Amino acid sequence: MQTINIDDLRKELDEIKDEAKKDFSQNLTIKNANQIKAKYLGSKSQITSFKKYMKDLKPEDKPALGKIINEIQAEIEGNFNEKIKALKTEELNAKLASEKIDVSLPSQNSKSGFIHPLDEVTQEMTQIFTELGFSLVDGPEVENSYYNFTALNTGEDHPARDEQDTFYTELGSEILLRSHTSSIQIRAMEKLKPPFRIFGHGRVYRNEEVNARKMPFFHQLEIMMVDKNVSFGHMKWFLNEFLNRFFGKNIPTRLRPDYFPFTEPSAELDAECVFCNGKGCNTCGGKGWLELMGCGMVDPNVLEMAGIDSKKYSGFAAGLGLERFTMLKHKINDIRLLFNGDQRLYS
């Protein structure tokens, strides 16, 4: 029987190992690398076949052969893992390069949001009245009839209660959705000591049918100034100053007598049409004037009910519809467009 030398086997195995290393160093795909792995480490590989020499070795060399085979297999396995890792990195880099996205390019379909025109107008007016020395006050949308009517000189049987037919709650006839922001002013007047200049704004409700000019709710902004010797002249100056700042130009105005239960005398303020400069157009119905706001001197009864001495103090108040001003400023012809979310309004 021929005796096999362990050193010869080691030499042959080393050669196979070098050959494997060379194979893995070539330009390969992952599939190629797996094929090479199978060739050297598979159950029918050349290396595995070396186990058959075990029986021909001297007993003291037998463990050495097993060890050599294991070491070589481990090394080839290491070569394989390294190659796979390199190939995967290469693959990922190629993929990243081919799918590169330039984040600095503008997207094709992005629309950035912006402030609703009604809010924008409210913010502008808030800015103007704040600059004119008025302080912002607030009040609840669900009111009781005292603040909405009684304290505003509108008693139980007053016809204005019908005019402003509002939404009553199931909590009782006293609890309703406010029909104007004047209730905010009453609440503020009770707490403040004259002199003061205040304004409040918010959503108000009227039991009305929906059409191009009316909704069952809208937004109002009201101002009030109470001091000694406040006159119609002060009111006119403040309202004109506000309009000039809001529309960005000096606009002629006129006051027409009107009626409100909480002011005496009362007036409607018209401004020369900002679209046709008084010549007459569709917006102003050919009149050349636009009705913009109700105003007047605060009725002494209203001052007294809020605990203000009407012999010592007087005041003016004015109220406007925010939708109307928004529609005028943005040339919107249908009030419903402000609330139906139609994107074309904003494009």
Q: Which residues bind Zn ion (CB under 5 A)?
A: 273, 275-276, 281, 283-284
CB of 215 to Zn ion, least distance (A): 24
CB of 331 to Zn ion, least distance (A): 12
d(CA 114, CA 191): 37
Element (H, E) at 310: none
The smaller minimum CB distance to Zn ion, of residues 68 and 290, is found at 290
CB of 330 to Zn ion, least distance (A): 16
Cis before 195? omega within 30 = yes
**Helices then strands (H, E): number in the chain?**
11, 10
- Computed from CA positions of residues 140, 142, 147, 149, in that sequence, does the dihedral angle turn out positive or negative? positive
The smaller minimum CB distance to Zn ion, of residues 20 and 284, is found at 284
d(CA 267, CA 259): 7
CB of 275 to Zn ion, least distance (A): 5
The smaller minimum CB distance to Zn ion, of residues 283 and 301, is found at 283
Please check whether residue 168 is in contact with residue 107, taking contact to mean a CB–CB distance below 8 angstroms. no
CB of 268 to Zn ion, least distance (A): 17
The smaller minimum CB distance to Zn ion, of residues 192 and 290, is found at 290
Please enumerate in sequence order all residues whose Cβ is within 8 A of that of 144, keeping only pairs 6 or more positions apart, or say none.
Answer: 174, 175, 176
The smaller minimum CB distance to Zn ion, of residues 6 and 281, is found at 281
Closest among 12, 7, 3, 13 to 58, alpha carbons compared: 3
Please enumerate in sequence order all residues whose Cβ is within 8 A of that of 150, keeping only pairs 6 or more positions apart, or say none.
Answer: 156, 305
User: What are the residue ranges of helices labelled H in the chain?
Assistant: 6-24, 30-41, 46-49, 62-98, 117-131, 145-148, 160-163, 182-191, 232-247, 300-305, 322-330
CB of 132 to Zn ion, least distance (A): 27
Cβ neighbours, 10 Å, residue 319:
24
The smaller minimum CB distance to Zn ion, of residues 185 and 326, is found at 326
CB of 292 to Zn ion, least distance (A): 13
DSSP class of residue 295 equals: E
Which residue of this chain has its Cβ atom nearest to Zn ion in the complex?
Answer: 273
Residue 253, token pair as written in the block: 């105005």
The smaller minimum CB distance to Zn ion, of residues 100 and 331, is found at 331
The smaller minimum CB distance to Zn ion, of residues 20 and 251, is found at 251
Cβ neighbours, 10 Å, residue 235:
23
CB of 279 to Zn ion, least distance (A): 7
CB of 287 to Zn ion, least distance (A): 7
d(CA 122, CA 250): 20
The smaller minimum CB distance to Zn ion, of residues 224 and 274, is found at 274
